[in-house]
Chains A and B, each alone.
Chain A
């Protein structure tokens, strides 16, 4: 992964430079947030290729819509919003074609979790729990998966999630609660 060029500019300042045609400022933004965008996309899609495409397209979309961003929210919130929207398009596209999402043991992420069986008991139990959690996440409805990823993986506040998903905060609050309930149900079934 390319190293992030040292820049003390805030995201807003970089965006301002981007609007003036500063390509380097855009590169800094991409390098600064690529991991976040890719990880969210991967957690939602569980497919590296799809996640790469969605995350890259998110930055392309940002570049093409620079004039539309008026700084009413943080850049990362805007980025998450675009990533989630593109991920929705992607897994709905796959859903129409009958593809089932599942975590493969060949998947490097899953292998990383599965390979922890040699760890001491406590850690192994935790690793197994996380692995099951990861698998069960894929079985949740997309709206539940989205809020849980944004809240627990990306550590976003309810307010930020509400902006990113364009929902009232109250809706986000109840949706997160129902998503956790559903996930617990899934975990208890096995």
Chain B
């Protein structure tokens, strides 16, 4: 039995022709005996008819052009994100966010704890920036020289032969790096640094080592030769307050060219000789004169004291004190 109170939606659907055949039969049976519902249906049909004839709005002629324009200008709705992956699911997203936030919080908390600060103080990394030794201090210089030697060794390593594991230089390098190491490696790095400290020679030994290994490039930082001339005997006259450094550099250059230190009156003599194979004299000269040596020559104070065409096989180098 169809009740008037429950038939409202069906009457509307009847007007729209949306009822199933069975339901339509039932509703029409009800309407046959219910004047009130028949009146409702009439009203609904009038309403639907009135809505159907409402004036239709027409778009402007330039509608399509407007669509194109909006596309060009990037207006209009954005492209929606396609199928969301499982990573965008709240069941995954929120736990991940929570874990990330917790990690950040714990990290900050650990950094602020007195125990961590004490650990940094104990390992010397709390003030690592301030603890950096001056550039010219002996340990730093030695470490830099060791690194330079290691690089040189790397360069001369034959192709195909594996380079030696740089265990000691790595440990020493950590001491010279500005960034503190990870917490887990603080103890190991500190131990290695302490070992490196014990390996630092005494100042006197250090000075000797510096003289032994200092390349020509090192002299750029501190020019020691102010002038170079040649006297009537053909000797190279070098004005320098540091005879040892001049001797070292000149000797190294001679050795590099297959020559050697010939003579020196004694270790403290200001005059010494470098023997250069005759065929290398020109090379020696060119090396002193070539453009890439210009800075070195300038730093050493060398000037073109050698006659271009003079076949000198033995060069006497005399170091004199700079004129005051």
Contact = CB atoms under 8 A, between A and B. Distances in A.
Interface string A30-69: 1100110111001100001001100111011101110110
Report, as a range, how many residues of chain A touch the other chain. 35 or more
B293 interface: no
A30 B57 contact: no
B13 A86 contact: no
Contact of B76 (A61, A112, A134, A148): A61
Contacts, number: 125
A64 B47 contact: no
Interface string A126-162: 1001100110010000000000100111010110000
A63 B76 CA distance: 10
Contacts of A64: 76-79
B12 interface: yes
A109 B55 contact: yes
A27 B68 CA distance: 9
Contact of A60 (B52, B54, B63, B71): B71
A176 B18 CA distance: 12
Nearest to A133: B50
Contacts of A86: 77
A59 B54 contact: no
B84 interface: no
Interface string B264-282: 0000000000000000000
B44 A2 contact: no
A173 interface: yes
Contact of A35 (B13, B56, B79, B80): B56
A59 B63 CA distance: 11
Given A31-B64, A173-B13, A152 B75 contact: no
Nearest to B63: A34
A177 B13 contact: yes
Contacts of A61: 76-77
A159 B249 CA distance: 97
A37 B66 CA distance: 14
Interface stretch (A11-19, A73-81, A180-188): A180-188
Nearest to A57: B76
A118 interface: no
Given A30-B63, A52-B66, A38 B57 contact: yes
A184 to B, nearest CB: 6
Contacts of B46: 129
A163 interface: no
Contact of B59 (A27, A38, A158, A180): A38
Nearest to A148: B51
Contacts of A52: 59-60, 63, 66
A129 B48 CA distance: 12
B61 interface: yes
Given A59-B67, A173-B13, A113 B55 contact: yes
Given A1-B60, A35-B56, 6 more contacts: A60-B71, A64-B76, A133-B47, A134-B54, A137-B54, A177-B11
26 contacts: A1-B59, A30-B67, A34-B64, A35-B58, A43-B54, A48-B57, A52-B59, A52-B60, A52-B66, A55-B63, A56-B66, A61-B77, A63-B71, A64-B79, A68-B80, A82-B77, A86-B77, A109-B55, A126-B53, A133-B54, A134-B54, A137-B54, A151-B16, A153-B56, A174-B9, A176-B13
The 8 tightest CB contacts between A and B, nearest first, are A60-B76, A152-B51, A42-B57, A177-B12, A38-B59, A177-B9, A61-B77, A57-B76
Interface of B: 8-9, 11-13, 16, 18, 43-44, 46-48, 50-61, 63-64, 66-67, 70-71, 75-80, 82
